[in-house]
């Protein structure tokens, strides 16, 4: 069982900076970790949540059974985005923008009746739908310098997943997959077990350890709240294990939600929150969810890459939406996912967080600041930058008359010169944010730019 801890401070920044839970866990159990690499990834995923009728299933024949039904004889429903041609579009996008990988949900047999419990086996993890060409997509992705990310939804049938586990991981290795997103939606099978029961805790660890035998990295969703085991099993890169971005399409997350999670859920380990949603109004899609919306400004979505750190970060929106805001998307292209150091500049639980981080092995720094339902002015010192140099800070900020509900896509980008003595007073809209990228400057680049004193 995990340690029970209490972290106490009269300064909330100390709570965010504490690594107590992490270091109480056993050291890494693996001799070789060179294959474990942080990454950003896009995915065939968000379009299934927008209300346009796209689905994980290949057909509408709900009596289809994986491994028994001949899916090539079924009529395609025409709403299945996990198909070869569409996935290639995502691969092209990832390649063009320096994004490491692409997740595809709905690629494998079983989605027609996946959550009904009318069958003993919900999925096969080594059998693709007829419109998903595993070999061709792996060839194409490799040619483009992009990694394919596997998806294993279990429909909470953890017992059957364990029976298929070695076969599933061998299929991944044979087809060039080195990372998997697992899912546990529903009531756990075997019966009388729960997502947080001892049997399931043992299951999650078993999956991570067995994955390591195949040099596979794991990002688990609908799993138990983490307790620092990412130190012991570092291929267990991240978990969801709280209300992530997808819940914005199901009633929404309150504006203070992401100002709370770093003090609670994230103390146990990184979260795959799935940030980066630029089209925050689902009414844009003219689908079945006209009243749903993401409860943030566009800029706050950018800042979440800093305030909700994870070594595996999703670039969660549709490529077509990023194409509408290419200057803002530049920050997501640039932002790191692995860090040498972090400085918590401001923090109050449920109210606001401002953090600075140095990219691992690079002379690049990033700042992210978010706030709750109240607008505020953040005070951002740069005393953590190395002395004796000047830097260019590219500031992505909420724009004119920003409002997460009525005007979420108002943003502005500006460049200034900063030094370790600079202090920036930065306005944040209600449920807004600020995202800053920083690099060393030369005289030519600084010409005409304002210096922040």
Same domain, 234 and 353: no
In the chain, % of residues over pLDDT 90? 96
Q: Is the pLDDT of residue 1 over 80?
A: no
Q: Is the pLDDT of residue 116 over 90?
A: no
Angle at 215 between CA 213 and CA 221, to 5 degrees: 95
pLDDT digits (tens, 9 = 90+) for 8-41: 999 999 999 999 999 999 999 999 999 999 999 9
Verify whether residue 292 is a known catalytic residue: no
A 10 A CB-CB count for 249 gives 18
Domain count, the chain: 2
Of 326, 420, 414, 340, residue with least CA distance to 380:
420
Q: Using CA atoms, how far apart are residues 205 and 226, in angstroms rounded to an integer?
A: 11
Residue 195 lies in a domain: yes
Length of the chain: 453
Please report the pLDDT score of residue 119 as a whole number: 72
Mean pLDDT (the chain) is 97
Q: Which of 241, 268, 297 is the last residue of a domain?
A: 241
Instruction: Give kind and range of the element (H or E) at residue 138.
Output: helix 134-144
Of 382, 381, 336, 387, residue with least CA distance to 362:
336
Question: Directed axis angle between helix 84-96 and helix 134-144, to 10°?
Answer: 10
Same domain, 232 and 364: no
Helix (H, G, I), strand (E, B) or coil at 332: helix
Q: Is the pLDDT of residue 117 over 90?
A: no
Which whole number is the average pLDDT over 256-280? Answer: 99
**Catalytic residue chosen out of the listed positions 246, 333, 440, 445:** 246
Please report the pLDDT score of residue 4 as a whole number: 93
Please report the pLDDT score of residue 191 as a whole number: 83
Q: Which of 241, 266, 290 is the last residue of a domain?
A: 241
Q: Which of 191, 211, 241 is the last residue of a domain?
A: 241
CATH assignment at residue 379? 2.60.40.1180
Please report the pLDDT score of residue 118 as a whole number: 66
CATH assignment at residue 219? 3.20.20.70
In the chain, % of residues over pLDDT 70? 100
Residue 135 lies in a domain: yes
Q: Is the pLDDT of residue 192 over 90?
A: no
Same domain, 50 and 184: yes
Residue 250 lies in a domain: no
Which whole number is the average pLDDT over 379-394? Answer: 98
Same domain, 82 and 197: yes
Least confidently predicted of 68-72, 221-225, 285-289, 401-405: 285-289
Residue 60 lies in a domain: yes
Q: How far lies 446's CA from each of 105, 424, 437, 441, in Å?
A: 45, 17, 15, 7
Which whole number is the average pLDDT over 404-414? Answer: 98
Residue 315 lies in a domain: no
Least confidently predicted of 144-148, 202-206, 282-286: 282-286
Q: Is the pLDDT of residue 375 over 70?
A: yes
Residue 318 lies in a domain: no
Residue 396 lies in a domain: yes
408: confidence class by pLDDT, cuts 50, 70, 90? very high
Residue 273 lies in a domain: no
As beta bridge partners, residue 43 has: 103
Contacts of 285 (CB under 8 A, 6+ apart): 50, 51, 52
A 10 A CB-CB count for 174 gives 12
Domain that holds residue 437: 345-451
Please report the pLDDT score of residue 120 as a whole number: 81
Same domain, 30 and 158: yes
Same domain, 237 and 360: no
Dihedral (Cα; 299, 305, 307, 310), 10-degree rounding: 160
Helix (H, G, I), strand (E, B) or coil at 326: helix
């Amino acid at each position: 069982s995990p340690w029970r801890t209490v972290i106490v401070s009269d300064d909330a920044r100390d709570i965010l900076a504490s690594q107590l839970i992490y270091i109480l866990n056993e050291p890494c159990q693996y001799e070789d970790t060179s294959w474990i690499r942080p990454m950003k990834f896009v995915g065939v995923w968000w379009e299934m949540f927008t209300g346009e009728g796209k689905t994980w299933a290949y057909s509408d024949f709900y009596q289809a059974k994986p491994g028994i039904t001949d899916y090539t004889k079924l009529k395609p429903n025409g709403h299945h985005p996990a198909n070869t041609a569409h996935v290639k579009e995502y691969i092209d996008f990832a390649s063009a923008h320096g994004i490491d990988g692409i997740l595809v949900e709905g690629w494998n047999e079983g989605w027609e009746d996946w959550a009904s419990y009318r069958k003993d086996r919900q999925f096969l993890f080594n059998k693709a739908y007829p419109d998903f060409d595993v070999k061709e997509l792996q060839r194409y992705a490799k040619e483009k310098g992009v990694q394919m990310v596997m998806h294993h939804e279990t429909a909470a049938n953890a017992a059957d997943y364990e029976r298929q586990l070695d076969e599933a991981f061998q299929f991944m290795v044979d087809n060039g997959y080195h990372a998997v997103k697992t899912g546990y939606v529903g009531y756990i099978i075997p019966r009388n077990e729960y997502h947080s029961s001892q049997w399931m805790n043992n299951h999650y660890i078993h999956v991570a350890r067995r994955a390591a035998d195949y040099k596979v990295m794991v990002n688990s969703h609908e799993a138990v709240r983490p307790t620092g085991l990412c130190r012991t099993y570092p291929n267990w890169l991240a978990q969801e294990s709280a209300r992530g971005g997808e819940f914005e399409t199901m009633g929404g997350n309150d504006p203070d939600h992401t100002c709370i999670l770093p003090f609670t859920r994230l103390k146990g380990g990184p979260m795959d929150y799935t940030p980066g949603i630029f089209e925050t109004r689902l009414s844009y899609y003219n689908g079945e969810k006209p009243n749903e919306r993401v409860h943030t400004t566009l800029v706050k979505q950018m800042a979440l890459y800093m305030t909700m750190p994870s070594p595996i970060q999703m670039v969660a929106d549709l490529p077509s939406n990023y194409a509408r805001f290419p200057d803002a998307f530049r920050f997501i292209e640039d932002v790191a996912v692995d860090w040498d150091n972090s400085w918590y500049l401001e923090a109050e639980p449920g109210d606001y967080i401002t953090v600075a981080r140095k990219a691992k092995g690079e002379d690049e720094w990033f700042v992210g600041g978010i706030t709750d339902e109240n607008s505020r002015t953040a005070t951002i010192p740069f005393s953590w930058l190395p002395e004796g140099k000047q830097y260019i800070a590219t500031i992505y900020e909420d724009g004119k008359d920003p409002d997460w509900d009525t005007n979420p896509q108002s943003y502005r980008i500006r460049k200034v010169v900063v030094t370790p003595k600079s202090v920036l007073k930065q306005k944040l809209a209600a449920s807004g944010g600020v995202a800053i990228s920083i690099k060393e400057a030369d005289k030519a680049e600084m010409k005409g730019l304002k210096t922040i004193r």
